[in-house]
C-alpha cells in the first residue's frame, strides 16, 4: 500500500508540473524551443527580436541567404523588409 501512495504522489506532482508548464506556455510566460542537432545546418534562424508593446513585436530572421524584418501584431504578421545577403558577406556584417 505504501508503494501505491508513493506512486500516486509522484504522479500528482508530475501532473502539476506539466499543467504549470502548459499554462505558462499558453499565457506567453515561457517559450519552449527545440534545438537543432549538433552538426545540422540551420536554414531558418531568429537573429533578434524586440517587443514594442505586449502584443506587438519585430523580429529579424535569417532565411537561407536573406534577412527578413517581420512585424507581429494581433492582426497577423507583416514582412517589413527583405535584405539579400551579398556574396561573401557574413550575417554579423549585415546586422
Give residue limits of the domains in the chain: 1-32, 36-95
pTM of the model: 0.49
Beta bridge partners of 44: 63
Judge whether 58 and 72 are in contact, CB under 8 Å.
Answer: yes
Question: Residue 91: is its pLDDT beyond 60?
Answer: no
Query: Coil, strand or helix: which one is 68?
Result: strand
Q: Which pLDDT band holds residue 84 (cuts at 50, 70, 90)?
A: confident
What is the chain's percent helix, strand, coil content, to nearest 5? 30, 35, 30
- The mean pLDDT value of the chain amounts to 82
Question: Residue 86: is its pLDDT beyond 70?
Answer: no
Amino acid at each position: 500500500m505504501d508503494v501505491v501512495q508513493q506512486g500516486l504522489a509522484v504522479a500528482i506532482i508530475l501532473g502539476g508540473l506539466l499543467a504549470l508548464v502548459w499554462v505558462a506556455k499558453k499565457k506567453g510566460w515561457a517559450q519552449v524551443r527545440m534545438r537543432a542537432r549538433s552538426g545540422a545546418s540551420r536554414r531558418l534562424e531568429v537573429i533578434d527580436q524586440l517587443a514594442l508593446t505586449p502584443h506587438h513585436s519585430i523580429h529579424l530572421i535569417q532565411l537561407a541567404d536573406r534577412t527578413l524584418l517581420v512585424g507581429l501584431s494581433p492582426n497577423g504578421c507583416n514582412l517589413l523588409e527583405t535584405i539579400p545577403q551579398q556574396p561573401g558577406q557574413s550575417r554579423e556584417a549585415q546586422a
